[in-house]
Homo-oligomer: A and B are copies of this chain.
C-alpha cells in the first residue's frame, strides 16, 4: 500500500493551548493555528486568506506546548492528517479533521529583549475586530531544550 500522509505548516497560534491531563497519565494539547497566504486579486489588490488548523499534540509535546506556546506564537509544524468520524444526533455521518503533530519547532524567538523592551507597535490597534492571532511579548526565550519537539505514538 505504501502511503505518505504529511502536513507542513508555519503559522501563529490563535489562542493559548488548551491542555488536558488525562486520567491515564497522557497529556493532550489542542492548538489552533492560522496560516495566512497573500495574493493579488485581478485588480492588483492584496488579498489575505487565512486557514485555521486544529492541531493535536500529545504527552511530551503537549507539555512543551503548555509551558512555552501562547496565543500568537509562531511555530513550524510537521504532522499528519487524522480524522475522526462519528454519527451526530440526527444519525448523520460526521467527520472532523485534525492535524496530529509529529514535531514542532518554535520560530522567531529573540522577541524584543534586545531593543530594551520597547513595545513593537501597538498590538491593540492592529487587526481591529480580527479573529487573528498576534505576536505578543510572551514568546519564550527559554534556554530550555525544546527547540524541536517530537513524539511517537504508534498511530
> What is the count of identical protomers in the complex?
4
| Chain B residue nearest to A145 in the complex (CB) | B46
Q: Interface readout for A22-43 with B: 1 if CB under 8 Å, 0 if not? A: 0000000000001111111100
Complex Cα gap A143–B11 (Å) = 18
Given known contacts A4-B10, A36-B1, A36-B132, is B74 in contact with A76 (CB within 8 Å)?
no
Given known contacts A81-B53, A138-B121, is B10 in contact with A133 (CB within 8 Å)?
no
Q: Interface readout for A86-122 with B: 1 if CB under 8 Å, 0 if not? A: 0000100000010000000111111111110001111
CB distance from A119 to the nearest CB of B (A): 8
| Chain B residue nearest to A118 in the complex (CB) | B137
CB distance from A146 to the nearest CB of B (A): 9
Question: Which residues does chain B contribute within 8 Å of A49, judged by CB atoms?
Answer: 132, 155
Question: Which residues does chain B contribute within 8 Å of A121, judged by CB atoms?
Answer: 123-124, 136-138
Q: Do B129 and A128 touch (CB < 8 A)? A: yes
Complex Cα gap A123–B134 (Å) = 9
New contact pairs (16) apart from A3-B11, A5-B53, A90-B90, CB-CB < 8 Å: A1-B12, A2-B109, A2-B135, A5-B9, A5-B37, A7-B7, A12-B135, A48-B127, A48-B131, A107-B107, A109-B120, A110-B115, A127-B129, A127-B130, A128-B128, A134-B134
